[in-house]
Amino acid sequence: MTRGQRAAGIAFASLIAVAGLILLVFVPSGEGPDRGLFGALDAEGKMLGLLAFLSSLVMIGVFAFSRRGDRS
């Protein structure tokens, strides 16, 4: 894996991590008048955000520490 491929993988996984964090932190959960711009998420939506965040952290670790086949 070249440095460019590794950097692209880390950048893509970072975008997924940011999207997961936005789902977790900035989108309100539940019902009521404070539903926000995009509406409210239920528990499954929050779990999806958590899953996206945690899986992207694993992907960042895989791309950051992969050295196999690197000729640089």
Q: Predicted confidence band at 1 (pLDDT cuts at 50, 70, 90)? A: confident
Domain ranges, ordered by start, for the chain: 3-64
- The pLDDT of residue 61 is 87
| Helix or strand holding residue 29 (H, E) | none
Q: What is the pLDDT of residue 65?
A: 84
Task: Kindly report, residue by residue over 10-61, the tens digit of the pLDDT.
Answer: 899 999 888 888 877 777 666 666 555 556 667 777 788 888 889 998 988 8
